[in-house]
Structures are given as structure tokens and as C-alpha cells.
Amino acid sequence: MHVRLVDPSAYTPPYDHALASALARAGARVTLATSEFPYGDVPGPEGYAIERRFYRRGRGPAGSLQRRITKLVSHVPDMRALGRDARDADVVHFQWLALQQLDGLLLPRGRPVVLTAHDVLPREPRPGQLRAQERLYQRVDAVVVHSHHGRDRLVGQLDVDPATVHVIPHGAFEHLTAVERAALPRPLDAVKRPVVLLFGLVRPYKGLDVLLDAWRRLAADARGEAPAELWVVGLPKMDLAPLKAQAPSGVRFVDRFVADEEAAAFFDRADVVVLPYREIDQSGVLFTGLAFGKPLVLSDVGGFPEIAAEGAAELVPAGDAPALATALERLLGDRERRRELGARAGALARGPYSWDAVAEAHLELYRALLER
């Protein structure tokens, strides 16, 4: 079976790499069609082919207006070329389609088309985007979601045919546990206290303001000094200056893109991984925490309660800084509870959330589509 995975804008290279590698290990022939990742190095192909065929004429720094314009101009011809070249594939599986108003008209024909709904619905939709997203879901043969919560949203809010929506979990990024570690930056490498880690792109919906409020309460309880350090690590997609100016003691920011080797070092060092999100379906950061066997503190949004129900995380109400402070304080003071949560996280990463299990679920879906 030849599977073409497609991520035109290279939004999720770690996910693309992990799924493509696992499908190849399971015996599929896999070609990943994507573009250059503008922020840094990404994993090389392991058992699959890669075509960086999108936006090859793109110019300008990541996120710049110039780059967005050149991508927009290139998108239609690149999608049409993919449709022609994808005739050799048995299944075409899109990870992202960012121009919903156009992409429904540009899908390859004559073979099953699958779309993974990483973001089930746009968080800040542009005019007409929600309706275009609904039409797109109705034009593909199958939609993959990473949680039952995501399935319920698609079926309940967009009236997508339940028979076309399939829950396949996100995989745990265990490949990161095997990369060579980079040294932690100074002065973080000298920290002796426990570390709570907030990792990933920093966006408003991820609740950094709530976390800083909770941390301030922790510091107050400890007479001015928190019982641990909070590390906020990742490329900001918002203005951090006001939050930095008001950050309580014990908070350190590493506000830049972090490559795999350094990410592994941060997760190794963390005692607790926290995701105080206001909304989400599922998160690659969560599944990185599982891979490293870390205890998790999650807000009760999206598919997060499904992970907590598996025994790998503490759950708190979204946006509730006092509850978050209480949960962090309790967990930081209970080493045995941290050990229990971490052990369960590691077991899930090696079991139902392993990429081999995820790949087999995808192959079952592909086979069902081909038989139909």
C-alpha cells in the first residue's frame, strides 16, 4: 500500500515524521509531501520518502507578509500538481489544509482522501472559514480526530456524518527520548530545585496568564518564594512583555524556537509538565510528556480529561488559578504521587499511545476505505 501523507505548510513535522516512520515500519510505502520548515532542523526520513514540493518559491522570514503572499500564490498550482502526482498512491492523507475555502475544490480524485483534524474547529475563524471547514470535512472520505471530544464536536456542531469520523489517538513522541541531549542553557543548568515545565508555542489560549497567577499564589504560600521553578519554554506567538514584567519569583523564560536535542533536555529535567490551556482538542506537548514519563497537570478541556482518566495526569478546571496552584503545590510536595503518574504516563506511551499502535489503526482505516 502506498500512502501519501501531506502537510503543505509543515505545521507539524514531528507528527508527520513519527506517523510516516511508523507506517513504514508496518510495511506501507510512504511518501511525505510537505515544505521546508522555516524555524530549524527537523527529523530526517526513516523508511519513507520525503518531497518538499510545496512553496518552493517562498521567500522571506517565517511569519512575514512576504512569505504569506508567496505561499498563497503558490498554493493552487502546488495542490494541482499534487493531485496529478498522487495518482500512484492508494490513499492520500492530509494532515493540514489551511486554505479551507479553496482546498475542498483541489483535493485529489480517484482514491480515498483522509484528513486529520488536528484543530477540529478554527479558534479565531476568518469570515466564511467555519462554513468552508464544514464543506471540507464533508468532501473527504474520512476524518481522523485524536479524541472522543473532537469526534463529538464534529458530529454535533458541524453535522459531519458520524460514519466518516474516526478516533485515532495522537502518538507519544518516544523518538525524542532517543536523541542526543543538548546542554541546558545557563543559568538553568545550575538549578537544583524542582522544575515545572510549560513547553511549546506560546499562544493566548494556552493559559500562561493563568499559570503565572497560580505561581504567584504558590510564592505567597511559601512566604515569597515558590517551592520550585517554573520554566516557560517555546517560541512566542504573542506579546510576552506584559506577562514577563509581572512574573513572580522563580519563573524563567526561554522564548525562542527549541530544537529536538534541547527539547529532550528540558523534558528530562522537568519534574512536572503543566498544560493550563483554555481550549484544545489534543496536544503534542502532552504526548511528549507521556513519552518522557512525566507527571502532568492538565486543564479540563478537549481531550485532556481522557488522558487524566487513564491515570497519567491531575485535572483542574480551565482558567482557575487557585485550583491550579493547589494542584501544583500538592504534586510538588508528593514525590510518590509524581512517581505514580509518571509510571502510568510511560506505560501509556509504550502501549496504546505508541506510534506502532497508532500506525496500525491508520492502516485499518486505509484498508477499510480501499475495500469500500
Looking at residue 63, its pLDDT comes to 57
- Asked if 197 and 129 sit in the same domain, the reply is no
Task: Report the run of H or E that residue 315 belongs to, with start and end.
Answer: strand 313-316
**Residue 138 and residue 132: Cα distance in Å, rounded?**
10
The whole-number pLDDT of residue 65 equals 64
Per-residue pLDDT 10s for the chain (372 aa) are 999 999 998 999 999 999 999 999 999 999 999 998 877 777 789 899 999 988 887 655 555 666 677 777 788 888 898 888 888 999 999 999 878 888 888 899 889 999 999 988 777 667 777 788 888 999 999 999 999 999 999 998 888 999 999 999 999 999 899 888 999 999 998 999 999 999 999 999 999 999 999 999 986 655 566 789 999 999 999 999 999 998 988 899 999 999 899 999 999 999 999 999 999 999 999 999 999 999 999 999 999 999 999 999 999 999 999 999 999 999 999 999 999 999 999 999 999 999 999 999 999 999 999 998
Angle of the 335-350 helix axis to the 321-332 helix axis, nearest 10: 100
My answer on whether 271 and 136 are in the same domain is no
CB-based burial of residue 88 (10 Å sphere; 0-12 exposed, 13-18 middle, 19+ buried)? Answer: exposed
Which of 111, 166, 170 lies closest to 137 in space, CA to CA?
Answer: 166
The pLDDT assigned to 249 comes to: 85
Q: What's the pLDDT at 147?
A: 95
Structural contact between residues 370 and 2, judged by C-beta atoms closer than 8 angstroms: no
Based on the fold, state whether residues 245 and 134 are members of the same structural domain. Answer: no
pLDDT for 161: 92
At 105 the pLDDT is 86
* Bond from prior residue into 187 cis (ω within 30 degrees of 0): yes
The CATH number of residue 286's host domain is: 3.40.50.2000
The DSSP output letter for 64 is -
Spatial CB neighbours of 207, under 8 Å, sequence gap ≥ 6: 276, 277, 278, 299, 318, 319
Number of domains in the chain: 2
pLDDT at site 66: 63
Let me know whether 122 and 232 are in one domain.
no
pTM for this model (two decimals): 0.90
Does residue 297 sit in the same domain as residue 318? Answer: yes
Residue 58's pLDDT is 60
Q: What is the reported pLDDT for 83?
A: 87
Claim to verify: residue 162 and residue 189 sit in the same structural domain: no
On whether both 134 and 256 belong to a single domain, the answer is: no
Domain residues for the domain of 167 are: 2-171+354-371
Nearest to 297 by CA among 335, 264, 271, 279: 271
Q: Based on the fold, state whether residues 306 and 164 are members of the same structural domain.
A: no
- Length, in residues, of the chain: 372
Residues 44 and 123 in one domain: yes
Q: Are residues 359 and 328 in the same domain?
A: no
Q: Are residues 198 and 100 part of one domain?
A: no
Task: Decide: 44 and 18 in contact? Cβ < 8 Å.
Answer: no
How far is the C-alpha of 274 from the C-alpha of 255, rounded, in Å? 17
For residues 123 and 266, membership in a common domain is answered with no
